[in-house]
Amino acid sequence: MRTRRTMLALSVGTLCLAGCGAPGSGSDSGLTIEAADATAATGGTARIEVQASSVGVLTWQLAEIPENWQVTHEGFEPEPTAVRESYPPELVWDPIADSVMGSLAVAVPDGAAPGEYMLAVEAGTDTSDERVVSEARVIVVE
């Protein structure tokens, strides 16, 4: 949906211009996020490994991922204290977690076009407007 993607691109761009820094960068508060690229065949699942520090909220935005692809969170340690079912979905840690690790599973449907798709992963403290973003590539092969 062109409008949704346009708004998503604008919101991610605005966040970076608002002082969130370069993708994956840290801040004075220690807030960081790193999302690794992942590869999957059509009909398979790409697992994006995520690491964050000093995080209160973690979310993802489909960016270039088709909206009919399912993205779920798996194996986060520590487990989030809450999951906000919204768009975009949010994993919440209260109090703020010093270090978080887990993965985002992207289900690549049968018949998906091979290529590279971006998934933006964002972390914040949930007590301020501070945010950091890391982009992961989902590489789809035949």
**φ/ψ (deg, to 5) at 63:** 45, -100
**What's residue 12's pLDDT?**
44
63-115 confidence digits (pLDDT tens) = 889 988 999 999 999 999 999 988 778 999 999 999 999 999 999 999 999 99
The type of residue at 100 is V
Task: Look at residue 18 and tell me whether its pLDDT is greater than 80.
Answer: no
Task: Look at residue 126 and tell me whether its pLDDT is greater than 90.
Answer: no
Task: Look at residue 4 and tell me whether its pLDDT is greater than 90.
Answer: no
Q: Which residues contact 40 (CB under 8 A, 6 or more apart)?
A: 46, 106, 108, 138, 139, 140, 141
**What's residue 28's pLDDT?**
56
* C-alpha span between 111 and 49 (Å, rounded): 24
The type of residue at 31 is L
Q: Please say whether the dihedral angle defined by the alpha carbons of residues 79, 81, 86 and 88, taken in this order, is positive or negative.
A: negative
Instruction: Give the helix/strand (H/E) hosting 32.
Output: strand 32-35
